[in-house]
Structure 1
């Protein structure tokens, strides 16, 4: 998927699990534009995984073997935690 096709990426962010929508959509809407092209590619690559796997990673039930995916998961978690603390 092209990292500049925000419409398609936005659609891919919409998941079948509410918990994933709550984690992924705010990150995309608030932080995606500020990512480097490499991080955008990692984020798009992350979206290719199935919902159960993403859920396990985002809920700290498992860790991706790929270091870049693990870094992206931690970035999503950190940014979302920062937003919650400001609310």
Structure 2
């Protein structure tokens, strides 16, 4: 093979060497909060299902409290998982 006309040189900066590890460590508390939100979402979904089943009020007449819990887990998951490519 011949020589390439492009020459690339790279230097690592001392302060940015561990930045990737810091970013990954900062994701841990986000995943803990996200897991708690998903558990709460699952429990509130079951509570809402039981309330609808036992009260016989489907559709728009369902209790407002449990159905309000589905937003935060899904809103929180996107910015947390997006940097990881997931």
Q: Which of 1 and 2 has greater Rg?
A: 2
TM-score greater than 0.5 by the shorter chain: no
TM-score by length of 2: 0.28
TM-score by length of 1: 0.28
